[in-house]
């Protein structure tokens, strides 16, 4: 007897985007594999909130799939990563955060958070800046650890207890004042960010970066804060996250976003459709700025096909509603 098909779950962040150019491109999308898949699946769950939440829909959906329950802005991504990496103290209850090195673009009226993915931080730069920053963080009771990604540190400290922080995916391209935590408990964090601005401004690493024509690294963004109870056992069998739309969505590059969607339709979405046709109980989660919608198999056969005729919506209409 052949083995039973797997039950794959594909999660797509930035499947819908409300920025002007991506929204304009959305109505020209032709996604035949997604159309075919949606015609076979039913809406199983919807998470609809406004776009002011610290935790965007794709992070909320991923947390739910992993069995993690947390308030807005306190999904413990850093604590989960630290536990999986076996870092000191990760097995204990405590608050962690992700400190992402970045370039703050200082304007006349605002300071805007640049995309860390666009400034190409290498491992040597990350290690050098970590050594410089560590004593300043330790003065505030924060222990810093390198992660497997250059320019991204894991931090542990009481400062993060109960501190809700905005995902970097929310904050990129916006004034930092719009997404910075403004509670009294966040004052030490804001002071530390300002100290890093002054400290990093004169560092040799940045002199070399400026000489190469790349933006200097002049501060950090804190996200992923929260506690992961010591007895919590998040599942390791999470969905496959297709992150190929993110870069274009962040730049509001409608043409590149549409091109990435076409490639995804011919790749990951086509694979999920093939798995469905092979009998797998597939799931598809589409995420936008406000909503995450999970589609799954409810009924196969003639009855399911007849039902889909009345529920069918075009892929652009589904994506626009996100």
The DSSP secondary-structure symbol of 99 reads: E
CA dihedral 144→146→152→153, nearest 10 degrees, is -10
Tens-digit pLDDT string for the chain (322 aa)? 344 445 699 999 999 999 999 999 998 999 999 999 999 999 999 999 999 999 999 999 999 999 999 999 999 999 999 988 888 777 676 789 999 999 988 877 788 998 888 888 889 989 999 999 999 999 999 999 999 999 999 999 988 999 999 999 999 999 998 999 878 778 888 888 888 888 887 788 888 888 888 888 888 999 999 988 777 777 777 899 999 999 999 999 999 999 999 999 999 999 999 999 999 999 999 999 999 999 999 766 555 554 555 455 688 899 999 9
> Cβ atoms within 10 A of the Cβ of 71, count?
11
Name the CATH architecture for the domain at 77-227: 2-Layer Sandwich (3.30)
The closest of 76, 22, 63, 15 to 291, measured between CA atoms, is 15
Contact yes or no for 47/61 (Cβ under 8 A): yes
CA distance 224 to 119: 21
Contact yes or no for 57/319 (Cβ under 8 A): no
pTM across the whole model: 0.91
Q: Phi and psi at residue 195, in whole multiples of 5°?
A: -60, -40
CA distance 116 to 204: 19
CA dihedral 139→178→175→210, nearest 10 degrees, is 20
Which pLDDT score, from 0 to 100, does residue 106 have?
81
DSSP-assigned beta bridge partners for residue 227: 95
Map residue 144 onto helix, strand or coil. Answer: strand
Give the distance, in angstroms, between the CA of residue 309 and the centroid of all CA atoms in the same chain: 34
* 268-277 helix and 32-40 helix, angle to the nearest 10 degrees: 40
Which pLDDT score, from 0 to 100, does residue 305 have?
53
Written as six digits, the tokens of 238 are 């999470």
CA distance 21 to 253: 6
Element spanning 145, H or E? strand 143-146
294 burial (CB, 10 Å; 0-12 / 13-18 / 19+) is buried
Q: HSE (CB half, 13 Å, CA atoms) of 111?
A: 14
Domain boundaries, the chain: 9-67+241-320, 77-227
């Amino acid at each position: 007897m052949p083995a039973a098909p797997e039950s794959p779950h594909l999660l797509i962040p930035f499947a819908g985007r409300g920025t002007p150019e991506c929204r304009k491109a959305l109505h020209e999308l032709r996604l035949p594999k997604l159309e075919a898949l949606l015609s076979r699946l039913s809406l199983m769950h919807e998470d609809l909130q406004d776009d002011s939440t610290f935790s965007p829909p794709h992070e909320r959906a991923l947390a739910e799939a992993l069995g993690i329950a947390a308030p807005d802005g306190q999904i413990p991504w850093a604590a989960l990563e630290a536990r999986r990496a076996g870092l000191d103290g990760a097995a204990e209850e405590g608050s962690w955060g992700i400190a992402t090195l970045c370039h703050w673009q200082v304007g006349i009226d605002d300071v805007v958070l640049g995309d860390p993915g666009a400034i190409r931080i290498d491992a040597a730069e990350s290690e050098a800046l970590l050594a410089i920053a560590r004593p300043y963080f330790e003065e505030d009771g924060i222990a810093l650890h390198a992660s497997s990604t250059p320019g991204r540190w894991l931090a542990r400290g009481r400062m993060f207890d109960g501190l809700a922080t905005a995902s970097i995916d929310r904050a990129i391209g916006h004034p930092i004042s719009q997404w910075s935590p403004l509670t009294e408990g966040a004052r030490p964090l804001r002071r530390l960010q300002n100290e890093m601005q002054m400290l990093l401004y004169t560092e040799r690493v940045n002199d070399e970066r400026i000489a190469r024509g790349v933006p200097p690294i002049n501060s950090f963004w804190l996200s992923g804060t929260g506690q992961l109870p010591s007895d919590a056992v998040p599942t390791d069998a999470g969905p496959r996250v297709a992150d190929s739309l993110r870069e274009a969505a962040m730049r509001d590059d409608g043409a590149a976003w549409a091109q990435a969607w076409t490639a995804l339709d011919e790749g990951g979405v086509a694979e999920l459709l093939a798995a469905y046709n092979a009998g797998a109980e597939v799931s598809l989660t589409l995420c936008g700025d406000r909503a995450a919608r999970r589609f799954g198999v409810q009924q196969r056969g003639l009855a399911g096909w007849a039902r889909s005729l009345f529920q069918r919506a075009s892929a652009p209409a589904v994506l626009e509603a996100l």
